[in-house]
Chains A and B, each alone.
Chain A
Amino acid sequence: MSDSGVFAFELGDDLATRCGNTLTGVFVPGSRIALSAYRHVTHSSRDEPTENAGQVPVLIYMAQESTLFDEPVLRSVLAEANATFATLQQLGSRATRAEYVNISRAYRSIVRSCLEKLEQAKKSPEVQTDEARLQRLCDAIVVFYAAECLWHLFEILYIQSNQLVVPQLLDWARFHSPHAEDRATDLLLMGEEASESDDYWSIVKSLIMLGEIDVTRAVLSQNRKAGQTSFKAAEQILKSMPVYQEGYALQKFHSQWEFWHVDTERKIQSGLFATEPELEQLIRLVAGDSEQWDAGIKESQDFYEYLPGYLLFTKPTCKPFELKIAAAKWLNRWCLLRPEREQCSMNRMVSQLMDHDLRLFIYDAQKLNDTHWFSTHLIDLIHHCGQLKSYFDQNNIDLPALRHSMIYEYGSYLMTSHNMWQLGIDYLDCCKQEGQAAIELLLPRITLRSERQATKLINLARQRGLISVEREICKVLSKRSYDNERYGNALEWAIRSKDVLLVTAVADFILKHYSKTGCMLCPDTIANVGGRMFASPRLVFLSKYFEFYEFYRTRDFLSASELLVNLLESKITPDYFWPSLLIDSMPLLESKDPKIFAKETVAILHHIETDLVPIIERDVSKYGKHHTETVFKDYRVENVDEIMNLLRLACARNLARALIIENTLPVV
């Protein structure tokens, strides 16, 4: 863990050195900063190239926040914590204390499981040969060990909030100082021979200082001298030690304990253990003897290691507010006896918890190199518990705002990490308007790698009512498909996007392609647009024109004729398509067996004169004749003038035939 408050960067390359190591930086996508050398310019600086121009290379550096979670083993922490976090949000602020304790234990269980996996991963062959990865795993173990230790202590003092903290602190200290207990297991397996080990008494004393009464008794009972008076007396002292249980009468317990304590001291003074100096030292620890405990402190690793044990033998019914005083005294004592030991972050933070200095604790928690995993989830739990509300109020800390800020930052970090967006969105969901706005900005910027992924993003947006996000994603995919000449796919995504302009553009392309080549692109897609054709008038035209195209192709000429006339009447025909549409009528008009009746033929003539001719005239006057000849053409005819003449002739002939037939009485 880093103790420094502010991080400093120095590039160290030639140009940067010449500029006095001043830098300029720009944020770039992916939570990175691009850094390069910089020399400050003022209004009085001469406007000319510097002496370095063209001489020294310009190097650009990318600074990126270090993160533990690129390591696969650690992803489980994120994923499991995400599930627990979601459970806590559902629980809200009105659950029972027991439920919050369960949540807290779930978080700790996640970290413990992770630590186990990290230890196993460290030993695997592929990690052993990868020095950088091995270092990352070791760093992660340090970080999460600290996180679990602190969370455990926090749970004891502030979430469970039992009045009797000593038994729980003993469990906590034992878990985090496993060496003595592990070694005791070895000693127990050795039987009588254990007492001849060099570290026998050292271990037994550690067990006492950790409050492991039962284990100590087991080890001593195997001692070769267990039958002697002094050992029997020691066994009796340990066995008869009163242990407070919840619900006991406090005053009665105090009387019993005081009697036991005085009796123990009396036995020591009577010289009962004089023949066994090591055993006497052990019993002096049990009696709370300062000299012996000082000796123990000198052997301890952390200031908090033996504090719970000391309380067990001096103040077993210590209450939280008393712990504050006891812890402060103990820390002073520890520092006096261990002047060479630097005050590390862990000791400081443990002390802050015991001192009820949560403000500093939370501040320091954010310095853990865990991408704010610990501080974010702990603050959220504190917020929901509600038990510390008065503390934060008294210290002018806006807890809801702090929680909001941390969850927002954490969620944003996850969403901008390229494959953790599904986890991140749950955190931003808890951040009200600001979180919603962040989701709205971040969701469309997730790199789209497949359509299946896109459907997931769209589903997330839809659940949250983010219509604009949904549409934006659809538009991106539509344009991507369009560029890939996958026009059916482009059309469908455009329809989903409900962007009239985009749908119109794709439909336009398809229609123009048809009028140029006679080939209908993506007929299968157009055939199935169905009711969604109303996304755009152009799409309606395309769908109906395709219907006409199919009727014609399958030689259903009467239906085709009817539809064609409807299209001509529809007022949704795009300008550029009039020649093609009218040319389509020619085979029908030329048919010996009239497919288009007199009335409809007149309508076609009408459209030639009132639609096609004015369009062409406007275009000529605006862009010139050449443009008109280029735009208004069909794959079947080179010249639009020719079209009109042929059409007029065809109409005239069809009209003549139709009139004759329609006005001839049926032959009986």
Chain B
Amino acid sequence: MSIANVSTHYISEKVSQVRWLPEELQQSERFVTGSWDMDQNFVRLWRLQSNQYVTATDSEVDQIPRCMDKVRMEDDVTAMEFVDKDTLAVSCADGHLSVFNVHRAVEEDQMQRTSRSGRLHCFQRSQEPAPCTDLSVYGTDIATAGEDGCVSIVSVENVRQVKRQIEADSMALFSICYISQQELVTANRMGVIRMLDARVATEAQPKTTFMVASQDDKSNFVSSLAKHPMQQHILLCGSEEGSITVWDMRNLSYPASYLSAHKSPINEIGFHQKDPSKLFTAAEGGEVWMWSENKVLGCDYNKDGHSPWLSGDRVRSLVDVEGVLSNVRKSINSFDVHGSRLVCGGDTEAVYLVDNIV
């Protein structure tokens, strides 16, 4: 691996979410950010452009992001995912979901909101909006989780029509993830992970639940869920204590493995989409780490269809970890990886670009 190159760009907004625009054959040079805890929150479209102020001392920073377009949001941006290469779904703390169209152009890229859902999440008693906390996309379906403990499923083609509303939990949900066309998992503030069937109503939901591992009997919410891009039965959970719990969805009797990682909550966890031997975690304490399968040992396992993530106590010897970003000291809330480039952002009101990541 060549030396990673980090550049910092202050954008005057607390970044809650960041995503590369999907590209098939080339390195993405555009990304979107969503902000939170600002007087006005925006979804912004950025593009990397040559730095016209290059000097001898700044030769490392050859590209800087420039804001191409922005759309004002009604409240904090809480989650963003691309449904396809031009369509972005954004969830908001006012309980609504928005869909954006991103138009790539030679000069000025554009982004516009094409539709907005009705209120998907709301507290029953007070009828106040409940924050949407996370969303997950499968095909054209979008599932959102909220602080009201509900899950709403809509189609990107008609977000005003709710296909399914599930009262999943009596507690705030923090994370949601599709694991197949019909199955979802949610995670709440107790660390309880629940499996839901997207096809049936609340009353008929399966009772499958399991709890994220914890070092002792302390509160330990699950803040992020990630599934393996190639092996759909592998689910990774990032938790409040900073640990990673790995579940094999085929056998939920006990966790497949458990890793101590960060000393602060893990805010985002995810695999490189093209290179599933790389996992990334971002933490509240300001670190981004990369977890790599140890190739020498790993290849034997992969032959048998095994994954080092399911190897229980041996996972430590099969997976290497290294710091991608450190010493930032404030929360990194979100990251995304595309090709050899990672973008992340957080409460320093900055975006960090890391080149040569793999």
Contacts and interface: CB of A to CB of B under 8 A. Distances in A.
Interface of A: 70, 72-76, 79-80, 82-83, 86, 419, 422, 426, 449-453, 455-456, 459, 463, 483-489, 492, 495-496, 521-525, 528, 530-532
Contacts of B184: none
B265 interface: yes
Contact of B172 (A422, A489, A522, A531): A489
Contacts of B349: 75-76, 79
A132 to B, nearest CB: 16
Given A449-B76, A452-B78, A528-B209, A72 B12 contact: yes
A70 B171 contact: no
Interface string B142-181: 0000011100000000000000000001111010000000
B86 interface: no
Interface string B3-17: 000000011111000
B66 to A, nearest CB: 11
Contacts of A459: 264-265, 284
Contacts of B240: 455
A455 B174 CA distance: 11
Contacts of A70: 39
A79 B348 CA distance: 6
Contacts of A525: 170-171, 190
Contacts of B23: none
B39 A450 contact: no
A210 B331 CA distance: 47
A521 B223 CA distance: 25
Contacts of B11: 76
Contacts of A522: 170-171
B interface secondary structure, majority: loop
B125 to A, nearest CB: 4
Interface in B82-120: 93
Interface string B254-275: 0000000000110000000000
Contacts of B174: 451-452
Interface in B302-336: 329-331
B93 A495 contact: no
Contacts of B76: 449-450
B131 interface: yes
21 contacts: A75-B13, A79-B349, A82-B348, A419-B37, A422-B330, A452-B78, A452-B131, A456-B284, A456-B331, A456-B347, A484-B124, A484-B126, A486-B123, A486-B170, A487-B170, A489-B170, A492-B189, A495-B219, A521-B170, A522-B170, A532-B219
B149 to A, nearest CB: 8
A484 B123 contact: yes
Contacts of A463: 264
A419 B14 contact: yes
Given A86-B329, A452-B78, A484 B217 contact: no
A531 B192 CA distance: 14
Nearest to A453: B37
Nearest to A451: B172
A454 to B, nearest CB: 10
A interface secondary structure, majority: helix
Contacts of B329: 83, 86, 426
A75 B330 contact: no
Contacts of A453: 37
B219 A524 contact: no
B209 A79 contact: no
A608 B298 CA distance: 66
Contacts of B37: 419, 449, 453
Contacts of B330: 422
Contacts of A531: 217
Most-contacted residue by chain A among B128, B189, B192 (CB, 10 A): B189
Most-contacted residue by chain B among A483, A484, A522 (CB, 10 A): A484
Nearest to B123: A484
Contacts of B93: 449-450
A485 B125 contact: yes
A451 B147 contact: yes
A551 to B, nearest CB: 15
B328 to A, nearest CB: 8
A453 B174 CA distance: 12
Given A419-B14, A528-B192, A83 B348 contact: yes
B38 interface: yes
Most-contacted residue by chain A among B124, B147, B172, B350 (CB, 10 A): B172
Contacts of B128: 484
B247 interface: no
A590 B331 CA distance: 60
A488 B217 contact: no
B169 A488 contact: yes
Nearest to A447: B37
B67 to A, nearest CB: 11
A492 B190 contact: yes
Contacts of A449: 37, 76, 93
Contacts of A82: 348
Contacts of A76: 10-12, 349
A484 B329 CA distance: 35
A419 B16 CA distance: 14
Nearest to B191: A528
A447 B174 CA distance: 20
Given A75-B349, A453-B37, A492 B10 contact: no
Contacts of A484: 123-126, 128
B34 to A, nearest CB: 13
B219 A496 contact: yes
Nearest first, the 6 A-B pairs at minimum CB distance are: A488-B170, A531-B217, A522-B170, A79-B349, A485-B125, A75-B12
Interface in B26-51: 37-39
A523 B331 CA distance: 34
A576 to B, nearest CB: 23
Contacts of A523: 170
Contacts of A73: 12
A240 to B, nearest CB: 30
A484 to B, nearest CB: 5
A528 B284 contact: no
Given A449-B93, A485-B124, A528-B190, A419 B219 contact: no
Interface string B228-268: 00000000000010000000000000000000000011000
A489 B192 CA distance: 13
A422 B170 CA distance: 31
A617 B264 CA distance: 54
B221 interface: yes
B133 interface: yes
B10 A489 contact: no
A344 B110 CA distance: 47
A495 B219 CA distance: 9
Contacts of B133: 450-452
B211 interface: yes
Contacts of A80: 10, 350
Contacts of A75: 12-13, 349
Contact of B169 (A419, A456, A485, A524): A524
Contacts of A521: 170
B209 A524 contact: yes
Contacts of A524: 169-171, 192, 194, 209
Given A72-B12, A79-B10, A419-B14, A532 B171 contact: no
Interface string B270-313: 00000000000000100000000000000000000000000000
B119 to A, nearest CB: 16
B225 to A, nearest CB: 15
A449 B125 CA distance: 18
A350 B343 CA distance: 43
Interface string B327-358: 00111000000000000000111100000000
Contacts of A496: 219
A530 B131 CA distance: 28
A528 B214 CA distance: 13
A158 B38 CA distance: 38
Nearest to A80: B10
